[in-house]
Structure 1
Amino acid sequence: MKKVRISGATIAEALEKAKQEFGLRDEEFDYVVVEKGSKGFFGIMAKEAVVEVSFKKEFYERRLEQFMVGILRSYGKIKVKVSSAGKRFLVLLEGDDLGRLIGKHGKTLAALQHIAMIYLNRLSDTKLSVVVDAGEYREKRKRNLEQIVLQAIDRARVEKKRIVLDPMFAFERRLVHEIVKKYRDVKSYSVGVEPYRKVVIEYSPNGKEVHTT
């Protein structure tokens, strides 16, 4: 995710510099020795030691958890749990009054996710993704959204027309497109600009249309 080269008089000194500069703990990085370094002859032709430090997922998980705890202090007692799989990080929030934290149609939760993703990617050289969930809201929203889509598909088929859904977040639109792909006589596409971008489900007996978010 991130690699840096650090030099010092010795390997131990180079590693300590890396820990101090980036706030790393011993279990949060691996390293390889690029140059062992040497004292030279009476200091002449001395070479510094160089190590390449690779940041591990534990570093990102800890920093992301600390960041989320900090910005959620005003919401009361919220428990933050961070886990990861590859380049995808999941933040689970638990506590009282989660409705206020989720916000209308999940808008507050989406804003928290956006901020968390910006923060985490500033710590990495490669793109990382973050999903923030509270009280299994996303799973509940997924089930509710599936029902809305199935009803819209039925209407499009019966009425032979376009059905325009309410504005959605990108991850929700992707879910809609995945559901619609299962049906041969309807197609879906997105229209509008964020944050008012919507999905259109349309009766299409002659074939599909390319799906976009």
Structure 2
Amino acid sequence: MDNRTNLDDYLAGLGISDAEESAPLPPAPDTTAAPLPDAANESPKAVLERFLRGLIARIDPELSVTVRETEEALEAEISGENAARLAGRDGRTLGAIEVIAYTVLAKQEGRGDLRVRVDVGGFRRRQADTLTKLAERLAIGVAKSGEPHELQPMPAAERRVIHIALKEHPDVMSESVGEGAARRLIIRPRHS
């Protein structure tokens, strides 16, 4: 079975694919469906918002989506009473949604340089706070002991949070080592 066909079929069902650009979105609660605008003239922000609205309408119509453009990425927040459940175990479902959203944008826009960040119910924000606190605790330990500390392998987004947290730290520095899924962080004393 051709994966491209499956993705195209899935996207067509969400009103995204080239084959059905004019397919209406399912109605949102208390509104009527409107025809899709010409996809060629849509901004990446509008494409992402339309995709996520179509996706969550099928999962839980009570959820809402807001998308904003920053200098670094398109950032989407899915909110609502049951939004946090959409993160899945260890954020895996959220990660999958983010990958699919990126794929939709890359396919629609014909470019892969767009960064996409999706958060549901504040999951990523809480995770970043936890990682920042971990980085601060480990930095104190490394500064006191003078010995480097190696963390378990983690995704690039999580490593980035720790790198940013320790970027300006006067006593320690962080570096990524390893390849692929085994890539991990080492926190070292800055002056050794």
Query: Is TM > 0.5 for Structure 1 vs Structure 2?
Result: yes
Give the secondary-structure state (helix, strand or coil) at the position aligned to 1:112.
Answer: helix
Shift of residue 113, structure 1, vs aligned partner? 0.8
Spell out, residue by residue over 1:61-88, the C-alpha distance to the aligned partner (whole angstroms, 9 max, x if none): 3432332244445643332233334673
Task: Tell me the amino acid that sits aligned with residue 98 of structure 1.
Answer: A
Give the secondary-structure state (helix, strand or coil) at the position aligned to 2:134.
Answer: helix
Spell out structure 1 runs of 4+ moving beyond 6 A: none
Partner of 1:99: 84
Residues 1:67 and 2:79 are matched in the alignment: no
TM-score when normalising by structure 1: 0.62
Unaligned stretches of 5+ residues in structure 2: 1-18, 23-35
Equivalent in 50, 58, 69 of residue 84 of structure 1? 69
Tell me the distance in 1 between the aligned counterparts of 2:126 and 2:104: 27
**Which structure's CA Rg is the greater one?**
1
Shift of residue 116, structure 1, vs aligned partner? 0.6
Deviates more, 1:63-72 or 1:130-139: 63-72
Partner of 2:37: 25
Structure 1 residues 86 and 22, CA, compared in 2 at 3 Å: closer, same or farther? farther
Partner of 1:124: 109
Shift of residue 90, structure 1, vs aligned partner? 1.9
Tell me the distance in 1 between the aligned counterparts of 2:82 and 2:114: 29
Unaligned stretches of 5+ residues in structure 1: 1-19, 30-54, 207-213
Partner of 2:93: 108
Task: Tell me the amino acid that sits aligned with residue 81 of structure 1.
Answer: T
Spell out, residue by residue over 1:108-144, the C-alpha distance to the aligned partner (whole angstroms, 9 max, x if none): 2122111111110111144222110111222222222
Correspondences of 1:167-186 after superposition (within 5 Å): 167-186=153-172
Give the secondary-structure state (helix, strand or coil) at the position aligned to 1:195.
Answer: helix
Residues 1:150 and 2:143 are matched in the alignment: no
How many residue pairs align between the two structures? 160
Partner of 2:150: 164
Q: Which structure shows the higher strand fraction?
A: 1
Tell me the distance in 2 between the aligned counterparts of 1:153 and 1:87: 27
Give the secondary-structure state (helix, strand or coil) at the position aligned to 2:161.
Answer: helix
Task: Tell me the amino acid that sits aligned with residue 63 of structure 1.
Answer: V
> Are 2:84 and 2:123, in contact at CA under 8 Å, matched by a contact in 1?
no
Tell me the distance in 2 between the aligned counterparts of 1:109 and 1:21: 26
Spell out, residue by residue over 1:169-196, the C-alpha distance to the aligned partner (whole angstroms, 9 max, x if none): 2122122112222124322111233434
> Are 1:167 and 1:198, in contact at CA under 8 Å, matched by a contact in 2?
yes
Structure 1 residues 123 and 140, CA, compared in 2 at 3 Å: closer, same or farther? same
Partner of 1:141: 127
Structure 1 residues 176 and 85, CA, compared in 2 at 3 Å: closer, same or farther? closer
Partner of 1:7: none
Structure 1 residues 174 and 86, CA, compared in 2 at 3 Å: closer, same or farther? closer
Tell me the distance in 1 between the aligned counterparts of 2:117 and 2:51: 14
Task: Tell me the amino acid that sits aligned with residue 186 of structure 1.
Answer: V
Give the secondary-structure state (helix, strand or coil) at the position aligned to 2:97.
Answer: helix
